[in-house]
Structure 1
Amino acid sequence: MIDLDVELVRGTLVVGLVISALAYHFFRVNSGGVVTAPFLAILVLTGDWINIAGWAVLSIIGFATIRLLSNRWPLPRIWLFFAGVFIPMTIHIAGLLLIQIPPFETYSTFFAAGLYVTNGLTAYDAARQGLLRTFVSAAAVTALTTLAALGMYSLTSNFGITTEALPPFVTHDPLLAFVVVAAAIVARLAFGLGTAGIIGGAYLLQIAAPETLLVVLAFTLVGAFIYKRVATFMGLSPKQAFYSLLAVGAVAAWFGLYWASLLGIPGAAAVEQYALEPLLVVGLMIGETARFGVSRTLIGTTAVGLIAWSITSLVSASIISTWVAYIITFLLLVAGLTYAFREVKRGWAAAAAGSARWGA
């Protein structure tokens, strides 16, 4: 366990993203989500083993969920992905809620263990390439990332390099995470809208100010413009492009925000107050913008943010209770999925008609 500072944490993230990308490029193996290994490495550096164990357990639950659904129904991969994310996250949130009840407070360390979205990313990779292979890959990339981080820590310590104290990580209220993920799922499946990644909306909402949003938007538009041309020119596969995008986006945001803050550009200093979130959300926004277009991504991200802000504000103002907010969110999710499922049924009907036509 070591004392982390802002540059070490950001360096760990960038190195982890690069190693994850290289692992996929050379060995065609996914490490349980491109951001999983960097986060696990940070947990290792801080000695947070209980959350690592929680991640493993919830990942297995997500893997089992995807396998169960895929064996019963021919669902599109995006539906399986969201199921693998949503079910473990819901179980994690249920654990966080349980520890507020007196009989369960004693076991808070265990019930609160785990992560929100990373478990689902690992579960989806495991469903595609095997559980053991995914865990071994995640462990290997995490180990290499941790060693690199320890090397950076040793260098900065030996040469007396001092950096800023570690800014706060964005800690998500369980309700906010639940609403953002549910809204992002509906936006994607029902309306084909892009968002700031499945959890990026929570980052934007919690660090939001007009200046910071403009900074993120500027990085996103410039990055999307460059990304489209570079990815096409280099002939990258979608997976390679996504890995490269997050790594390059994180580096660009890291150095860009540093110099923008140093030069006193409005909004940059506020974004600089957070450790990892600006580096991740820029890459996620660039990816969504390149895939869905600027207008559909901005509409989707704004809609998710407004829904999350509205529901959490009602709770903060004591207009509705937290439990009512969860119920409202769940009903909105069910309604959105019911609407989106029409397209799935059309696909099933078309497949059945094709089979009947050709005698399959």
Structure 2
Amino acid sequence: MADRITSGFSPYTPARDVVAGHDLTGKVAIVTGAATGIGVETARALAEAGAEVVIAVRKPDLAEAAVAEVNKTAKGAKASWSMLDLSSFKSIRAFAERWGDKPLNILINNAGVMASPLTYTEDGLEMQVGTNHFGHFLLSVLLAPNLIAGAKQSGKSSRLVSLSSIGHRRAGFNFDDPHYKTRAYDKWESYGHAKTANALFAVGFNKRFRDQGVFANAVMPGGIMTPLQRHLPIEEQIALGWIDEHGKVRDGFKTTEEGASTSVWAAVGDELEGIGGLYLEDLAQAEPWTKEKPWAGVLPHALDPEAADRLWALSVEATGAGA
């Protein structure tokens, strides 16, 4: 990959160092799921650079605490929050209606569910793919006109950031039974196909909106201990090798601020101006996955343009938006 795009930062660079030197005054950003984990640090870094940041979450108490934390160091516009439940099409549409025609420069689809028991959204979708992909699909398509308006207003591209994961290696997208209606449920397979969907969505969204000044990339943030692990017992985390028997996190995991850095780079990096459809990790364009480095890289099925088009058509049918 001689033409591989890199940021010049090391993989463990804190998010605030990535955004340093960028003036985001007048820019507007939405970060989903930013009440905890790397979402808070993503919102904080953007706010410290002057952006108006809206935290889109479903728990008011956590949202209020996150906004207060971010606003301690925000420059210029203050952060705020708005109700968004990505497992509810009704909630997503209400969020977009409240947003109205306000221009938007950055949309970071950060929220996620991992390895949850088999449950369904109120719209009948399996919870992991329903929240991680279909919810974000509907939100992003509804806000696409706002992102286009943001690009026209600023004279620079608007950015959509879709958080994927190395978990995509576990499964390609299952078009035959995406919601486990006829096959046995496997929580890790489900997570893998949802994270593949997040990467394919960036490919599909970028194809459809790049000519209107909006570019989308997928991001693998790295291994980070956050509330994303809420469904995993300690014993399973030990078995996976994430922590030892004393609760110590294994080497290689990032802090939440380091975990937010690739999302922030995808949102502001000059190297990515006018570029989309990529899978980014460790503050660089990912290299192809290999057996020798199983915890890094991207597999072809996550960037397949034909699969991205097929997923887009399925998502339009499921959500009623984006035709």
- TM-score higher than 0.5 here? no
- TM-score normalized with structure 2 length: 0.33
Question: Which is helix-richer, 1 or 2?
Answer: 1
Instruction: Tell me the TM-score normalised to structure 1 length.
Output: 0.30
More strand by share: 2
